Amino acid sequence: MVILGIDPGTAVTGYGVVRTVNNAMSWMDAGVIVTDTSMPLCRRLLLIYDGIREKIAEYNPQRVSVEEAFYGKNVHTTLVLGHARGVAMLAAAQHGCEVSEYSPREIKKSVTGNGNATKEQVEYMVKMLLRSPVEKMRQDAYDALAVAVCDFYNMGRAALINKK
C-alpha cells in the first residue's frame, strides 16, 4: 500500500510518500509545493491542488493523510490553512483515496512517542524509521512524512481492534 502524507500550508505544502508492505514502511518520495505569497489566494490554492494531483497520479496512493489545522491565536491563519487542507482533501477524494486526518499532537506521539516533541525530534525519528536517502529536506517534507507514518501506525491499530 502507498500512503501520501500532507502537511498543508498556503505558502509551503509538504508531501511525503511511503510504501507499506506487511509491517514495514519504506521511503518513496518527499518534498514541498511552494507558492508565491504575493499571488492571490485562489491561484496559490490551484498550485497546491495541481501539485498534489501530480503526486497522486505519480504514486497512485490508496490512502492520503492530512495534518489537521492547529488552532492558534490567529483565527485568520487557521481559516486560510483550512483552504489548503480542503484542496488537498478534494484532490485525494477525486482520485478515490481513503482520507484520514491527524492532529499535530497525534502525529508527534505516533512518530516519537511524545506528543510534545520538537520538530527536530520528529525529523530525527522520520529519518531513522524510513532510512531516508535524502540528507536534508525542508521541515515541511519531514512533517508530511510523519503524517504518513502516523497513518501507517493508526491503520495497524485499527486492524488489530477490528480483529477482536
Assess contact for 137 and 128: CB atoms under 8 A: no
Q: What is the pLDDT of residues 35-79, one digit of tens each?
A: 999 999 999 999 999 999 999 999 999 999 999 976 666 777 778
Q: What is the pLDDT of residues 103-139, one digit of tens each?
A: 999 999 999 999 999 999 999 999 999 988 887 899 9
Q: Average of pLDDT values for 9-33?
A: 95
The CATH number that domain 2-163 falls under is 3.30.420.10
- Set 58, 123, 140, 143: catalytic member: 140
* Farthest CA pair distance, the chain: 53
Domain ranges of the chain: 2-163
Percentage of the chain lying above the pLDDT 90 cut: 80
**Active-site residue, 67 included:** yes
Tell me the three-class secondary structure of 86-131, residue by residue: HHHHHHHHHHCCEEEEECHHHHHHHHHCCCCCCHHHHHHHHHHHHC
**Active-site residue, 7 included:** yes
* Amino acid 159: pLDDT: 47
The percent helix, strand, coil of the chain (3-state, each to 5) is 50, 25, 25
Q: Average of pLDDT values for 155-162?
A: 54
With 0.95 as the threshold, say if the pTM is over it. no
pLDDT-based confidence at 7, cuts 50/70/90? very high
- Set 67, 123, 143, 151: catalytic member: 67
* Amino acid 160: pLDDT: 39
| Stronger pLDDT, 79 or 20, i.e. the higher one | 20
